[in-house]
Chain A
């Protein structure tokens, strides 16, 4: 861990000024990822802006349009166990509870979860090359140990994944990220929040250098009955997803009015294919239909050896998750038997 100066602003405006003061500034909230990375010398900020005391960011409120506004500092636990979230957005609650541990969820915040960085072994190990950590040094993961790496949306420069479970559910729910910067406030749909690596893998998101996340809003609920979050991993708890699937249907009678499918663990961002979801519109949700949709979602998937199995695993997981959602039997995050 390097030396850094520390500030604890009292307002969002002050925080934005602090954050925009220099390129080597980082925002500290729960610290569960940032402090971790600082100890590994992956992050070496010169200035740390502790936003944990900012007023007004710890509430979950009604939006007025039937949705919920979740303050950026609301902890993952507080979101997952909030009765309104449990009732109206059980997919989000379930995805959060599928991730990390009780201790981490008690500390990690909504904003921080969205901004957490990849778990790529090479990114984490400062003694190895990594284009994300040190642009231009190369990507050893492509020819090295890549069990946990991406199969979709990769580039020659980076095959890292985004590790969040929460963000996958938010992607499926089409959450909107509210940010505040030197030029005021703006809203970023979650689909445009995270980026693909391309030739700038060092940039995970489209957040400006002077911007901080202030809230996430969830649109009016439609997916509280037919949903699931299915996560497959290398042990039954406390492990990042090899593949996860957030699936949800808005049903009208026996047919799908709208389908949402987002994948975790397979790409640099929560992975959605709108055309694939559209294929289910007006369809009776059955396995036959799911297979076609799945093919479309995984079009172009590419393995790198150690992670090639993810293509088949994702295929099977999507079909299973869609079946769970259709049947209204969401995956339990406690009973590890797959429903």
Chain B
């Protein structure tokens, strides 16, 4: 067998562009006569704009126009025209729609000027007066008004139906734990702020460079909101400077930039400031309670997990948060609930593994509490209650190598050397804590189309409208395509992030590798069949009478497997067909039949070491081992990076990240990267990734399950459990800041 690109570590194909600064992001496309837009953000949380005075701003030389709700051009009237591919139920936020203020930081004006500095200056001159109304941004204060969302969000499973009688079983359980948990609101903060450059092509046609995880999502939003034919709107976003979910839905700068460009009939760019990155979606606040009941033999008898999460006053945002507690372990009595309560904040948004790290922080902390109470090793407790099927839906797993993940992870970490007693491991003045947790995420495949084009110069191009937000999509699709036709990767070009390419859903949910990868493979196989037909039909073809499964595509040749000296080169085959190129477009879709019988998840066992200064409570996360079972790995190099990145995100969640609202003002106050802390280099030590071998023939034709989310899931819980092990202090509210750790430990 020839070594395939699939499964081999490969450098990123877009690496050179990225290390030379040549990869263009949304705010870096330009056009002659480009105008610059600067957003004015509102100061109050709720009320109305009494007056907005733009005269001084308009008087600044170089200011082209100032848009407010008073002079906003007409756009679609019906609110559902603003709904995008992943919108939750409700009426989407509309920038500059009217004088109503519904959250703090809401855009109230867009200043468009000849250059950035003029726009920025003029924006500071826009005078706004408000009539404030009482607001509420504190979830605690509205928990009594929580409700079950009447309309379910598409694509998000609501909590499964209860099974058994968790209340009675909890009552009867000899060992019980019950506690409340909370995470902090987190903002995505990709390094690239949200940006849109609209290039005015004339005749009402525009090319839009938007920071988005799906170019076609922006395209359909624009056509729907502005009433344009899709032929007049092309969205091109070849590079996305991180998104983590913030680029799933079109953000307000897209609306503003397109609005201004259409009205002014010229090219316009709107880039948000870092502070304005806190005026959009976030990982929601959630009040959680988990109650676990077990027998002395460590078998779970009852699981209850309740959540009240915040949403906005205009949309019912939902994510799968408590569901994980119902599927992860064998237990006959399980109840999970998910309610919402409205606050005067923006609608939450999907953020890396939406729901899972939140819910599993609570559940996996509770499991650790239970293990401690039972005097059972945390890994053993999980093995003791291992679920062979998904009991929440009564479906089989397409594959589940979680048991192996626990074992391999524990082995690599050295878990057997752990003294279970809290505060028992120490080095100098540092307490050492070892904790672990389970992670899980849905392995999904979504219908995706791709095109493959082989040209007579022996070059292959594959294309789909999906995106590469740093995930490595360009690279893995190139690997898959190169394998399909036996080409070196250098001969393959992958195109992404263009609404004119074959249809793809947004890039997210860890489904892109399985979905776009399968589509690319199908299209390439179609090309391969045609090519083989030409090769076989050549006069005196060495492959005459051969069957396609008797030949290998390798080294730019089609050769008999039994006798590689008999071959036809790809270019000869193309010439024989008398064509300049072979093109095929194919669509890959998940099997409905499989989905009826099976559920598919990626799993992980994550082990964390923390070192805590005994006196001062400074916590350092010094070691992580993450054993991941996620089907076949296309590129071990980029795959490892994705898991490491997810773990770092999880360390941020555990230790640093917190958007701090001032409830008096109804406003997040640390709205910048100086005071909203994400991990810095010094915070990150060794992270070891193990890919557990897992054969999965059902999730996707490629055997791939996806990796974008699983790295974060469980990380915060593993760290919190390690902090407990180190200090005897159970921290149930993230992040684990120094103030929560100092002081005497609770009775362990």
Contact = CB atoms under 8 A, between A and B. Distances in A.
Interface of A: 1-3, 39, 41, 119, 121-122, 124-125, 127-128, 140, 143-145, 147-148, 232, 234-240, 242, 309, 312-313, 316-317, 319-320, 336-338
B428 interface: yes
Given A236-B682, A236-B683, A338-B616, A1 B739 contact: no
A interface: dominant SS = loop
A300 B64 CA distance: 56
B672 interface: yes
A41 B124 contact: yes
B648 to A, nearest CB: 12
Interface of B: 41-43, 117, 120-121, 124, 428-430, 611, 613, 615-618, 620, 655-656, 660-665, 667, 669-672, 674-675, 677, 679-683, 737-739, 742-743
26 contacts: A1-B124, A2-B124, A121-B662, A124-B672, A128-B667, A143-B664, A144-B663, A144-B665, A144-B669, A145-B669, A232-B616, A234-B737, A234-B738, A235-B682, A236-B683, A237-B681, A237-B682, A238-B680, A239-B677, A309-B738, A309-B739, A309-B742, A312-B742, A317-B616, A336-B618, A337-B613
Contact of A125 (B615, B671, B674, B679): B671
Contact of A3 (B121, B661, B667, B742): B121
Nearest to B42: A127
Nearest to A309: B739
Q: Which 3 A-B pairs have the closest CB atoms?
A: A309-B739, A237-B682, A127-B43
B121 A338 contact: no
Contact of A337 (B41, B611, B655): B611
B72 to A, nearest CB: 22
B650 to A, nearest CB: 15
A232 B672 CA distance: 20
Contacts, number: 105
Given A238-B682, A316-B742, 15 more contacts: A41-B124, A121-B670, A125-B669, A127-B43, A143-B664, A234-B656, A235-B656, A235-B680, A235-B683, A239-B674, A309-B742, A319-B615, A320-B616, A338-B429, A338-B618
A234 to B, nearest CB: 5
A142 to B, nearest CB: 10
A66 to B, nearest CB: 35
Contacts of A336: 618, 620, 682
A338 B613 contact: yes
B276 to A, nearest CB: 12
A242 B618 CA distance: 12
Contacts of B670: 121, 145
Contacts of B674: 119, 239-240
A313 B616 contact: yes
A235 B124 contact: no
A124 B668 CA distance: 13
Contacts of A312: 742-743
Contacts of B660: 121, 145, 147
B120 A1 contact: yes
A320 B429 CA distance: 11
Given A128-B43, A140-B665, A121 B124 contact: no
B620 A237 contact: no
B233 to A, nearest CB: 33
A77 to B, nearest CB: 17
Contacts of A122: 669
A237 B738 contact: no
A236 B669 contact: no
A243 to B, nearest CB: 9
Contacts of A140: 662, 664-665
Contacts of B120: 1, 39
Contacts of B661: 145
B618 A232 contact: yes
Given A1-B117, A337-B620, A313 B739 contact: yes
